[in-house]
Structure 1
Amino acid sequence: MDSQAHEALRLLIAAYEEHLAAILARRGDADVAVDDAYDSLADAFDRYEAVLDVEYGETLPMLLDDLEMEDAGDGEGDEEDEDDDGLDPHAGEDEDALDDDLDDFQLR
């Protein structure tokens, strides 16, 4: 039985291939096909990560640059959330907390 994650991954790989094909066939700096392929790739990435989160409680070790989408959606300009350091939630722990985890599980 194929999971939704397998299907989302297949669509993500196809979106990467379409993006590369659009880049290789680019007809100038403002080629709409490249922009459309970029948007499709970003959507496929978001879908794949969402499915991973729902099915397995996992995330990916990379983030999309959402500045364009955030600026378009909130009308706030380039203000950044000071709490958002751009890291994956798995990378949000500080070294002291990680050291405590190692001590708790006697991994040293």
Structure 2
Amino acid sequence: SNDKKCANQLAEIEAQYVLSVHSETTTTITESDENQDVEICQTEAEYAEVFIHEDHLPDWMRVEIEQSQWTKGKLKCPKCAFKVGSFDFVSGTRCKCTLNQVLPSVHFIRSKVDLR
């Protein structure tokens, strides 16, 4: 993914580390869709975020998160300081759907990054 402001390469995140609002990997959702084992969130399309698995973050993101002592903060492009996302390991924000699941802690803002 690239920063839309300066086109800096922010991360090469494999599809298996991009998460749904319920922390399911995109590959799990596809497989479950076929087997109908997992209830898919009906509000998924309403989110402006792209959630990322916290165990597979690019180094620059991990540094920002560690500097905040794994609390919460903004993710800024390391080249131009444009806000491209945020993280929150404190609040435990919940999904808007009836399943009320906790959202993943780290995300890009979809409108501020060019996903490839």
Same fold (TM over 0.5): no
Please report the TM-score for the alignment, with normalisation by the length of structure 1.
0.28
- What TM-score does the superposition give when structure 2 sets the normalisation length? 0.27
Which structure's residues are more often strand, by fraction? 2
- Structure richer in helix, relative to its length: 1
Structure with more contact order per residue of length (Cα contacts < 8 Å, sep ≥ 6): 2
